[in-house]
Amino acid sequence: MDRFADVVAGLEALAQPVAAQFPKYSGQLRLAMIEVGRGHLFVVRAGVETRLGVLAEEGLGQGLLGHQMGDLARRMGELFGTTARGEERPG
C-alpha cells in the first residue's frame, strides 16, 4: 500500500508543474491519468496534502469514475479537515 501511495504522490508531483504551464486554463491540476496494460491509474487532489488514487480495469466508464472521484475527493476534504478540491487557497 505504501508503494501505491508513493506512485500517487509522485504522479501528482510531476503533473502539477505541467498544468501550471497553462494559466489560460487555470493552471491547476484537476486529474492525472496513466494508461497501463489493461487499465488506468487516475489521481486527483482531494485537499491540502491529500490525494486520491484509483487503479481501474479497462472498460470502466472513465466519465463516471471521474465524477465519483470528484465527489469522494470533496468528502475526503471534509472528513480529514482539509480544504476541498476547488476551494484551495493559493500559497
- Domain positions in the chain are 2-79
54 pLDDT above the threshold of 80:
yes
Q: Given this model, what pLDDT does residue 5 score?
A: 92
Q: Are the beta carbons of 72 and 45 closer than 8 angstroms?
A: no
* 3-class DSSP state of 74: helix
**In this predicted model, what pLDDT tens digit does every residue of 2-49 receive, in sequence order?**
999 999 999 999 999 999 999 998 888 888 999 888 999 999 888 777
Q: 10: which DSSP letter?
A: H
84 Cα distance to chain centroid:
12
- Structure-block grid coordinates of residue 6: 508513493
CATH code for the structural domain at 2-79? 3.30.450.30
Q: Given this model, what pLDDT does residue 75 score?
A: 86
Nearest to residue 46, comparing CAs of 71, 15, 76, 19? 76
